[in-house]
Structure 1
Amino acid sequence: MSHTTTQERAAGAIMGAFIGDALALGPHWYYDLAELRRDYGEWITTYTDPKPGRYHSGRKAGQLSQSGIVLTHMLRSLVENGRYDEADFCRRLDEQLFPLLDGTPMAGPGGYTCQSIRHAWRCRVEQKLPWGKTGGHADTTEAIERTLALAVRYAFQPAELAATVANNTHLTQIDDTVISMTVAYAAVLSMLVQGHALDAALSGKLMQLVKTGKLPFHAVTLGDLQPPRPGDPDPPRAGRFASPDALLTPSYMAQAAVDEDIRIEPAWKVSIVYGMPCAIYHQLPAVYYLAARFRDDFESAVLHAVNGGGQNQARASLTGALVGAQVGLAGIPQHFLDGLEDSELLINLAKSLAAQTDSAMTRN
């Protein structure tokens, strides 16, 4: 277990996500790595301006993308309500985000609006549909990028975590596999906020939560993934997700990160090994690998995530949250905090949420 405090880990997770998001603002979505190096040099080390005509054009170094802005809305809602209030969160999107969108990608706060948010905007603004009828089929990490705050808030309440993350994800994404992988990431982050290590044993701990019905995944195997014995009844279904395999990925990646016979060098090439695109099944293996390999080195983790190109913004934000939870807020280099726009405001929000997490731990 980590020697940092719960509040340090919780605040570190939130600030790690914001920092990762802002670090990739400039070099976001370069699939041609030679072009990325021409525009930003051999190694990106800090916040940068987006180039004219590219994604987020007009934003400045240290600012957040729209994903970071939506995460801020989620944080404010949690802090002001003391819990997840879906109606309040949806109201914030209706009143503070959607009026600034026009349904096109290269518009809106942050300089780019992702597929799932565009779909929700069309459902709400053009079609006048109620929330709950707004989800689409984007197979991306966009929901994780905001629900990671729910993972922090409900880190010691796995059933509430799974329910709130699944419900919030469903507002914009309705594919069950995407929802299950989103819930799985949240469960991993919650374990790190509790102080557990991202290692070969973590998935076993998560599977125990499945066995006791605290995480809503269906499992028929016994310990160590052994098959059921002849005559064993099919266990009662614990929840909506058909398979718990998304909970097994992090420990496999953690094992790969320390196996001397498996080397990804330099580590940024994890984006090539698992894929540069946006889809959740490309992103999460790379995120887990980097977060396990650099569990004590926040700077290396997020910079390798950014310098890998492609959808490096999600990769860096989700890696930043996992490593931020492992090193705590004090383990994040000060220059990343100093260079982040509205850093003091964001830190205060992160600390307020962390206090809620700590209070929930005490009650449980």
Structure 2
Amino acid sequence: MSTNHHIQDRAVGAVMGAFIGDALGVGPHWYYNLNELHRDYGDWISDYTDPKPNRYHAACKAGQLSQAGFILALTLRSLVECGEYDQDDFCRRLDEDLFPLLDGTPVSGPGGYTSQSIREAWRRRVQQQLPWGQTGSHADTTEAIERTLAIAVRYAFQPTQLAAAITSNTMLTQIDHTVVSMTVAYGAVLALLVQGHPLDIELSGKLMGLVKDDKLPFHAVTLDDLQPPRPGDPDPPRAGRFASPDALLTPSYMAAAVADPAIPIEPAWKVSLVYGMPCAIYHQLPAAYYLAARFHNDFESAVLHAINGGGQNQARAILTGALTGAQTGLSGIPQRFIDGLEGGADLVKLAGELASKVKEL
């Protein structure tokens, strides 16, 4: 298998890992009481499950996608058909393919549940008839990551374009700059994994190198290895859009925690209790980075520990699934997860079409 074949395998693995994580969460989504989760699904969830009556996504069946998966597929089709990120095309698809299916309430639309930032964008766009660009809200969740991960895969070898496209897309629905910076950082991490870099203690240094080379828009005042600036040093010319590069440092700290035997998290699903079960991005990202570093060559363990942690386990599994799928490649994802995913073969084909555009420069 050539280097390019490995890249494409990892690119497809990243996208399919996200779809699988999404579908795994449809049944046991948002159980904050783990006793209730175990009552309804047993001590260990190992596959796609039906939602229980009167729960989130109650109209769905095991193996189907939630609305997050629907939007990821929409983003993927836009990237494939346009060949690159085209914001006008993406917005047209939201206007024509998603928003007519919504009514502005939480329990509506594809997957049976519409997230906060999408509801706010729908209100501004449909009810208030505001133009795109005036549709973002202050939701502090991972909803933008869940779709822009496809953009990260497309521009895996083009960090400047990656950052610009993810920033622009994110701000259609979420305008808090800390959330945007963390979303771009996740995309930059995913891109390096698609390239073939491991999620280890060296990864953040590689990301900081891209900042130093003006390829990622983060502001940094420290010298190499985070050493303090010297008296008289000018403010560095690499004044990025985001106030600090700290979001780029998180993955290697999580990898360091994995490698340190004095920091046990056992079983690994309890990472949700360490970093928090809620939806906010600052709870989700450390847990996803931890699981993807710990189970870098074991896709099944990574996504199942993400799911069995409860809370906002669907987002945790989407993020973990993409990061781990990018490391194992599609070839490392158990076939049963593809077979049990509704439309799985078609999604693999679509992901493959995106991956064909990902080439080492």
TM range (shorter): over 0.9
Q: Which residue of 2 aligns with 1:143?
A: 144
User: Sequence identity, in percent?
Assistant: 75
- Deviation of the 1:42 alpha carbon: 0.5
Q: Which residue of 2 aligns with 1:133?
A: 134
TM-score (norm 2): 0.98
* Aligned partner of residue 358 in structure 2, secondary structure: helix
Moved over 3 A (4+): none
- Which letter does structure 2 place at the counterpart of 1:70? I
Q: Which residue of 2 aligns with 1:195?
A: 196
- Deviation of the 1:236 alpha carbon: 1.6
Conserved 8 A contact 1:166-1:183: yes
How many Å separate the matches in 2 of 1:109 and 1:332?
26
How many Å separate the matches in 1 of 2:313 and 2:358?
29
Unpaired stretches in structure 1, ≥5 consecutive residues: none
Q: Which residue of 1 aligns with 2:159?
A: 158
Asked whether 1:263 is paired with 2:264, we answer: yes
Conserved 8 A contact 1:274-1:282: yes
Unpaired stretches in structure 2, ≥5 consecutive residues: none
- Deviation of the 1:58 alpha carbon: 1.1
TM-score (norm 1): 0.98
- In the TM superposition, 1:1-364 aligns within 5 A as 5-358=6-359, 361=360, 364=361
- Deviation of the 1:237 alpha carbon: 3.9
How many Å separate the matches in 1 of 2:13 and 2:259?
24
Q: CA RMSD in A?
A: 1.0
Q: How many residues are paired up?
A: 359
- Which letter does structure 2 place at the counterpart of 1:209? L
Conserved 8 A contact 1:147-1:165: yes
* Aligned partner of residue 357 in structure 2, secondary structure: helix
How many Å separate the matches in 1 of 2:221 and 2:62?
49
How many Å separate the matches in 2 of 1:95 and 1:233?
50
* Aligned partner of residue 248 in structure 1, secondary structure: helix
Conserved 8 A contact 1:210-1:238: no
How many Å separate the matches in 2 of 1:332 and 1:306?
16
1:188-246 per-position Cα deviation (integer Å, ceiling 9, x unaligned): 00000000000000000000000010000000001110000111001124321000000
- Deviation of the 1:168 alpha carbon: 0.1
- Deviation of the 1:344 alpha carbon: 1.0
How many Å separate the matches in 2 of 1:189 and 1:238?
23
How many Å separate the matches in 2 of 1:40 and 1:72?
28
How many Å separate the matches in 1 of 2:144 and 2:183?
7
Conserved 8 A contact 1:215-1:238: no
* Aligned partner of residue 174 in structure 1, secondary structure: coil
How many Å separate the matches in 2 of 1:353 and 1:168?
18
Conserved 8 A contact 1:20-1:316: yes
How many Å separate the matches in 2 of 1:238 and 1:8?
35
1:51-101 per-position Cα deviation (integer Å, ceiling 9, x unaligned): 111100110000000000000000000000100000001000100100010
